[in-house]
């Protein structure tokens, strides 16, 4: 976790930005939660540590983290997750998210063939896509194997 945060700080520094203490803490909370975290849940956790945190504090930090590709927003859940490629991207990147409707985990994919297929398809209509975030809802591997074993008749 500390290594991850240090790496994030380095990435920011390389791009002439600074991972201030508050930004670092917000990123830390998102990494810690190991699942999507909403802005208000973040604010609650931050307030527990420092009473003076406000929604503006949280949104400013989130904007920064989004801009530098350190977190992603999952629109469908209105929540944030840490980018799995923490620090390797200079800025936000095209990604696909697999959202489990049973356990709520979100897995991140970065499949360039999907991004290219969208660009091609959009291009055929004359549309120039700027950003494409795909959110796929379904059942993760862990939950689907639980389901299958539950469906098996008991002997
Ligand atoms: Zn990412
Ligand atoms: Zn699941």
What is the C-alpha separation between 150 and 140, in angstroms, rounded? Answer: 15
Pairing of strands 37-38, 79-82: antiparallel
Q: Return the ligand number nearest the Cα of 106.
A: 2
C-alpha 22 to ligand 2 mean position (Å): 31
Mean pLDDT of 20-45: 95
Mean pLDDT of 127-151: 89
What is the C-alpha separation between 71 and 91, in angstroms, rounded? Answer: 10
Provide CB contacts within 8 A for 31, sequence distance 6+.
1, 4, 5, 82
Three-class DSSP category at 87: coil
> Among 16, 131, 53, 11, which Cα is nearest to 26's?
53
pLDDT tens across 101-119, in order? 999 999 999 898 998 999 9
C-alpha 51 to ligand 1 mean position (Å): 31
- Give φ, ψ of 57 to 5 degrees: -55, -50
C-alpha 147 to ligand 1 mean position (Å): 29
**pLDDT at res. 43:** 96
pLDDT tens across 71-87, in order? 999 999 999 999 987 65
C-alpha 146 to ligand 2 mean position (Å): 9
């Amino acid at each position: 976790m500390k290594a991850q945060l240090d790496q994030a700080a380095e990435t920011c520094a390389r791009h002439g930005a600074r991972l201030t203490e508050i930004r670092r803490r917000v990123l830390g909370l998102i990494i810690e939660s190991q699942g999507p975290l909403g802005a208000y849940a973040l604010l609650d956790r931050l307030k527990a540590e420092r009473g003076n945190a406000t929604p503006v504090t949280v949104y400013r930090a989130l904007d920064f983290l989004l801009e530098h590709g350190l977190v992603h927003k999952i629109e469908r859940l209105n929540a944030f997750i840490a980018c799995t490629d923490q620090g390797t991207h200079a800025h936000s990147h095209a990604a696909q998210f697999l959202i489990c409707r049973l356990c709520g985990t979100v897995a991140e994919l970065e499949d360039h063939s999907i991004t290219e297929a969208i660009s091609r398809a959009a291009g055929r209509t004359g549309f120039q896509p700027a950003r494409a975030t795909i959110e796929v809802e379904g059942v993760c591997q862990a939950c689907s194997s639980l389901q299958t074993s539950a469906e098996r008749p008991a002997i």
